[in-house]
Amino acid sequence: QVQLVESGGGSVQDGGSLILSCAISNLPPGRYTMGWFRQAAGKEREGVANIDSEGSTTYADSVKGRFTISKDNAKNTLYLQMNSLKPEDTGMYYCAADDLPIGGRWYLVQKRHKYWGQGTQVTVSS
């Protein structure tokens, strides 16, 4: 059974930093695009960043220059380094994976994913 387990969320002040991790297990062999998505209370889920099988990364305009997505294939872990956090970054953060080799801006707006985690809460206070 494929499992994606997020961790690293928490409460920080405006301008703070957090590193989110997504531990992935039992993923079938293949070429995957993986991403981070978030959902604030009362709002639709939105794409934050993704990284594809070739290592190419894509970011939402709202986080570009502040967030960095990366993956460690040896540890089967996806990361999201978040710097200069703002109150509007508050939300539940989810990781997702799809057996699609190429990511990009189109993946930021995808609503359905083959594999999802349960999420980790990020709260940024002013």
Stretch 17-27: mean pLDDT: 97
DSSP β-ladder status, 57-59 and 120-125: unpaired
**In which band, very low, low, confident or very high, does the pLDDT at 105 lie, cut at 50, 70 and 90?**
very high
Buried b (16+ CB within 10 A) or exposed e, 93-107: bbbbbbebeebeeeb
At 56-104, the pLDDT tens digits run 999 999 999 999 999 999 999 999 999 999 999 999 999 999 999 999 9
Stretch 34-57: mean pLDDT: 97
Q: Return mean pLDDT, the chain.
A: 97
C-alpha 106 chain-centroid distance? 15
At 48-58, the pLDDT tens digits run 999 999 999 99
**Strand, helix or coil for residue 60:** coil
| CA–CA separation, 80 and 7 (whole Å) | 10
Residue 62's pLDDT is what?
98
Residue 106's pLDDT is what?
95
Q: What is the CA radius of gyration of the chain?
A: 13
In the chain, pLDDT over 70 holds for what percent of residues?
100
Residue 38's pLDDT is what?
98
